């Protein structure tokens, strides 16, 4: 755990979040500023600052598989959904604990902004 990390504090339940999935390795919760009717963040329990620091393929793979599970639970798996990892400031990363955005419930434009 990184002391100054917002998402580590959500993992430790120091800061409340609207959880949608929790297992041994990952937790997922609703984004506080949703960009789509469904906007969930999936994060590893373990602190990894960004995809650039990630070493464990299982840890990264688990984020995608958890997102697919949530998409099914939330009823957007068939209509479609998007998963995004923003890495570093140029891509819009603001919280430096790696997280995968799951967006769904509306049509998505391409290319993304
Ligand atoms: P990014 O900009 O890719 O680093 O994504 C960070 C996301 O975290 C943004 O979509 C924020 O709206 C979201 N966020 C920030 N603080 C919280 C919080 N306390 N609970 C839930 N989501 C948050
Ligand atoms: Zn962290």
Active site residue 99: yes
Ligand lying closest to the C-alpha of residue 47 = 2
Report which secondary-structure segment, H or E, holds 84: strand 81-84
Atom of ligand 1 nearest to the CA of 15: 19
Per-residue confidence (pLDDT) for residue 2, from 0 to 100: 74
C-beta separation of 42 from 63 below 8 A? yes
pLDDT computed for residue 3 by the predictor = 74
pLDDT band at 106 (very low <50, low <70, confident <90, very high): very high
Q: In the structure, what pLDDT confidence band is assigned to residue 113 with cuts at 50, 70 and 90?
A: confident
The structure tokens 């602190």 sit at 47
Rounded to the nearest integer, the mean pLDDT of the chain is 97
Please name the residue ranges forming H helices in the chain. Answer: 6-11, 57-73
Catalytic residue among 25, 39, 47, 99: 99
Give the model's pLDDT for residue 109.
95
Residue 38 has pLDDT above 90, yes or no: yes
Q: Cα–Cα distance between 9 and 41 in angstroms, integer? A: 14
Residue pLDDT, tens place only, 45-88: 999 999 999 999 999 999 999 999 999 999 999 999 999 999 99
């Amino acid at each position: 755990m990184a002391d100054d990390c917002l998402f580590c504090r959500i993992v430790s339940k120091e800061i409340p979040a609207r959880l949608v999935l929790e297992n041994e390795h990952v937790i997922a919760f609703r984004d506080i500023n949703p960009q789509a009717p469904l906007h969930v963040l999936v994060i590893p329990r373990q602190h990894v600052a960004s995809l650039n620091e990630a070493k464990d393929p299982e840890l990264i793979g688990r984020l995608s598989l958890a997102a697919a599970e949530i998409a099914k639970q939330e009823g957007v798996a068939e209509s479609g959904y998007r998963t995004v990892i923003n890495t570093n400031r140029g891509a819009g990363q603001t919280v430096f604990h790696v997280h995968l955005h799951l967006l769904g419930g509306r049509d998505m434009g391409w290319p993304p902004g």
